Structures are given as C-alpha cells and as structure tokens.
Amino acid sequence: MAEAHQAVAFQFTVTPDGVDFRLSREALKHIYLSGINSWKKRLIRIKNGILRGVYPGSPTSWLVVIMATVGSSYYNVDISMGLVCYIQRCLPEGCGPYRTPQTQALASMVVFSTGVWMLGIFFFRQTLKLLLSYHGWMFEMHGRTSHFTKVWAVSRSCWRASGIWFQILGESPFGVLNWGGETGGHWCLVHGLVLVLRVWDPAPQVFANLLPFTPLAPSPALSALYPQICVRLLSSRRPMLYSFQTSLPKLPVPSVSATIQRYLESVRPLLNDEEYCRKEKLAKEFQEKIAPRLQKYLILKSWWATNYVSDWWEEYIYLRGRTPLMVNSNYYVMDFVFIRNTDMQAARLGNIVHAMITYRRKLDREQIKPVMALGIVPMCSYQMERMFNTTRIPGKETDVLQHLSESRHVAVYHRGRFFKVWLYEGSSLLKPRDLELQFQRILDDPSPPQPGEERLAALTAGGRVEWAQARQTYFSSGKNRAALDTIERAAFFVALDEESHGYDPEDEASLSLYGKALLHGNCYNRWFDKSFTLIAFKNGQLGLNTEHAWADAPIVGHLWEFVLGTDTFHLGYSETGHCLGKPNLMLAPPQRLQWDIPEKCQAIIESSYKVAKALADDVELYCFQFLPFGKGLIKKCRTSPDAFVQIALQLAHFRGQVLPDL
C-alpha cells in the first residue's frame, strides 16, 4: 500500500474541521517529466516524418537551392530562364516594409527554388522505384549474371552516383561533392546567403563582420573559407529507417497462367500420372471459370494497397490459426554459446533490458540503417514497427495484433508470480545497475503465488478459442483486467527461470535441453502472446521466445545482434559480475500484479496446461554443432545456404519415407 500511496499526486480527506488536502511534489514532478518526454517523442516523430517525406532531399538542401538561386540572381545569372520574373508578376501587390520589390523578388525565388527542389525529389523517387521494379537478379544462379542484370546494376549504381546532384542541393546519402578546386560555386553559394540576410536582416553588417572578407569579390581568405562552409551546408545525411518506403515498388500481380504452371510443376514430383492428370484438369477448369473474376479483384486491390498479399498472409496464415502458438508458430533464439559475460541472472538482465530499450529508442527515432540486399537494394522495414509494445490478442475466429506507440514498463514472471517493472525514472531510462537492482528484488521476494496465478500463462499456450472465451469471461473487468492490461501493454515480457541451461561440452544433450527450454519451457512460464519473451536462466544465459505473426526471424535477429553486441562490447560488467555503476536504492520496488481468479477459470487454466504439456512432450528436438563446413563453402559452390538447408531437409524427409510410386 505504501507504493500505491506514493503513486498518487494528491490526497484529500474530509474531516469535521474541513478538507485536509495533501500534495505530493515528487509525484507531480514525475508527471511533469513524463509529459515532457511524451512531447519530445511527438516532436521527434514530426521531424522524422518531414525528413522521411522529402528524402533524398532535406530541409538543408531546400535552403541551399534557394541560396543558389538568390546568388545567381545577385550576379545577374537567370538560371530560372524567366520563371522567377513570371512568378514575381503573379504575386499579389501589397504595402508595408515586407512588400518591397526586393522582398517580392526574394519570395518569387523561394517559390521557384521550392518547385525545383520538389521536382528533383519526385524524379529521384520515381527513378529508384523504376529500378527496383526489376527482380530478375533474384532468380539468377551465382556466377552467371545476365547482361540485362549487369545493365540494371550499373543503372542502380548510377542512381547512387547521381545523388551528387542532390549534394549540390544540400544533402545526400552518398557523400560530399568534390568541387574540383573551383571556387565559383562556393562563392555564389555564400554570397547568396549574404544576400538573403541583407534583405531580411535589419543589420546585415552583423553577419558581414563575422566573415574575414568583404562579400563582394573572391579573395584568398574567401577561397580558404568556402570549402568549410560548403562542407557544413552540403554534409551528407544517411537514410533513415523508413526513408526508402515510398520509393519501393508495389508487389506485381502474377498472371493466372504463370501461377498455375508453377503450381503444376511443383506438384508433379509428388503425384503419379493419374493423380497429376486430375490436378491438371482441375487447374484448367479453375483457370477458365473462376480465376478471371478473382484476378480482377486482386488487381484492384494491388492498385489500392502497397502489398496486395501481406495483410492476407498475416491474417490467414497466422492470426486465424486456432491451434496453440507454442511450438506450432512461436520460435526461439539462443544466446552466445561459447561466451559467458556473467553468471549473475539479474546483472545480465540489467544490461540486456537496457540495451533493448536503447534499440527501441533508435527505432523510434529511425536511426537504424535500412537493410540493403547486395548493398544496393533497400528492403521494406515495415515489420520493425511492431517489435516492441505489441501483443497478440486472442479472438474466437481470428486474433488481433495490438500495438502501442509507447510503453514504459516490462512484465516479469518469476516462480508463479507476475510483476511490473518500470523502465524509466521520470524521463530518464534506468541505468543497467538500477535495472539489476529491480530484478534482484524480484528474485529475493519470498511471497507465494496467488490462487490460479502460477499457471495462468498456460492460457496463452493452449487453444486460441478457449483463451479468447476465458479472457472475455474472467479478464474483462476488475483487478484481472488491470493486471492483464499491465502484461499486454508492456514493452515485452521477461521470464526469470529457476533452472540453468546452456552449452556444456561434456553433455551432448545440453543444447537440445536449452532449445526445448526456450521453445516451450514448462508451458506456463512464457507469455506466448507477447511480441517476444526475454528468458533469463539462473546461470545468466538468455534467450528469446518470439511470436511469429508480427515479423519474420531476420527482424528479431537484427535486434538480438545489437543487444548482444552492446552487452559485450559497450556496457560490460564489474569484476564481481555486476552491472557497472552504483544502484539507486531509493527506487520504488517492482509492483506485484493482483489477480482474482475463480475456480472455474482455474479449471480452464488447468485444461489449457494439459493441452500444452501434451504438445511439448510430443516435441523431439536435437541441437548439435556442425563443424565440417558452413555457409562459406556452400556459397563457393554457387548455391544459396538457405536453399541448401531446405534441400537437405527434404532429402532427409524423403529418405525416411516409403514412397513406392516415385
């Protein structure tokens, strides 16, 4: 109750003597800092939206175009070919100090420069979209590149090189333009800036005094200063995470005939002659009767949506599945096998959670580089948006992915109990040592689980319909609703296990047991609906259990690579294995979630647990090290490593089957 009272900003009590009003300055301070942090994030999103909207241009490039136009006009060079004068004649006449001929001329130059700038952005985007529409490079064998693909690669490189034009306009992701020692362009640029200041600044001499030259003619000092100013103005800007999204081409709709032909080719090795003839007849009937009408609907959707199949794939492949997520859909990610940074469970979590929230901050600010295939083809980054603050909400017919723009806490499970751990103090992210303190407090908490609490997460491991019905009946109001909201609105879920797992060279089964612990645990110590569950074992080893609907594995791999690298090479540990720094002992302890689970709900939980336990017991997982060769040798054989593994799996399945018809 003490923590609950501290969380209230003000209290009042009605007494016979009047109203006793008490104000908590500390709580109000936290509310104020939280508001400031929220507005900062909104401003960052607005800024990123502007920068993303004008990529590959930038606000600085817009300013440079204006200065170039003004500078050329100052030296009687009309680069607009009369358009500036035409725009000036169309401007409304007025009175006052800001309606002079000079200001009207400057306004017309701004309008002209803005049009040129926007036209350049449009041209670059359309050119990139046209180049990215070619997909032939995906289907060519390694080492056998066609002439058309070579021409395409050269064109793509030329597009990158043509960013030099935008470097002249101010910023580009491709480096700073080498002016070749010529000072005329610098001279025009700087004097354009001076002219703008002369028009708008009542005391232009203030700026002129800052320059070691008179801005009327070139000078030795001017020649030395121009490169510095231009490098500052023309400094390159890296593309943000979503900079290429508007330039990516739409997914083309394949023809019906091509789709049916590929289908028949894929099933031919699996069918005998009689079965194949039947499939061929059905495919031809579908192509002539039903397919034309469906194809029209598909083309119509492709015009409306950026990707005509992604939302259907997400819903019908994942969200409409009624079988348990555990084992069937969720997958796991292992920790370093040979590296042990610390054996302290809470310390490892402190660094890892801090690194994850740092990654989330980079994600929110779009400071992560977009993924580029072959170093030149940008890939869609949409899946990264729902990495954090995301939960799969169960439904009777289909599930829904709930994504929040912000979450300031994580939900933690330990020995059958659920906790809420705040990640921030005011507007500041907790340091690793403070997070270690909070997790250690949970580990040291001796309180027992509440009735029905220990195996509550088994609901997320069982059937989706049963979980949806139980959620609607028993978790739609009261303290159960509040506690469930805390879990579903968390940044992610953390599981503190009492077991130790990892690689042991002397135990051949150690990796397999490690993998099974990450894949399903004991069927009730993972919240399988969260975008991912961070699992910490007693010996400091970690892992992830990831829900599959919101993204594919490479997205999570990018996060995990950043987190492990940050933990190992940047944050580090003390000699005793703790996180670096000193803990803040004044932090409020983690909050225990409160539940009121009736016996009927406990029976449903037990039923879901039995379903999940039977599924987990039916899993045979064997993890081992394979050292003879890796992806390097496979690539030398001009084969894709992914295709190699897929063929190996199919071959193993084929050898284990009895197929007399083949």
What the block records as the tokens of 468 is 């949806």
191 is catalytic: no
Which ranges constitute the DSSP H helices of 75-146? 83-90, 101-132
Residues 6+ apart with CB under 8 A from 249: 129, 130, 132, 133
Q: What DSSP line would sit under 599-610, residue for residue?
A: HHHHHHHHHHHH
Instruction: Tell me the β-bridge partners of 116.
Output: none
Residues 67 and 189 sit within 8 Å (Cβ to Cβ): yes
Secondary structure of 238-289 in the HEC alphabet?
Answer: CCCCCCCHHHCCCCCCCCHHHHHHHHHHHHHHHCCHHHHHHHHHHHHHHHHH
Work out the end-to-end distance of the chain between its first and last CA atoms, rounded to an integer number of angstroms.
Answer: 72
Q: Is 414 helix (H, G, I), strand (E, B) or coil?
A: strand
Residues 6+ apart with CB under 8 A from 92: none
Task: Choose among 304, 311, 326: nearest CA to 400.
Answer: 311
Task: Choose among 398, 640, 440, 450: nearest CA to 536.
Answer: 440
Q: How far apart are CA 180 and CA 186, in angstroms?
A: 11
Q: How far apart are CA 52 and CA 378, in angstroms?
A: 15
What the block records as the tokens of 243 is 């900079």
Residues 6+ apart with CB under 8 A from 236: 167, 171, 172, 173, 174, 175, 176
Tokens 């295709």 -> residue: 643
Distances (CA, A) of 14 to 6, 11, 210: 20, 10, 66
Residues 6+ apart with CB under 8 A from 407: 388, 389, 489, 490, 491
What the block records as the tokens of 185 is 């362009």
Residues 34 and 41 sit within 8 Å (Cβ to Cβ): no
Task: Choose among 547, 544, 537, 548: nearest CA to 510.
Answer: 537
Instruction: Tell me the β-bridge partners of 332.
Output: 545
Residues 495 and 359 sit within 8 Å (Cβ to Cβ): no
Residues 6+ apart with CB under 8 A from 25: none
Catalytic member of 548, 558, 578, 653: 548
Q: How far apart are CA 309 and CA 516, in angstroms?
A: 33
Q: Just list the catalytic residues.
A: 548
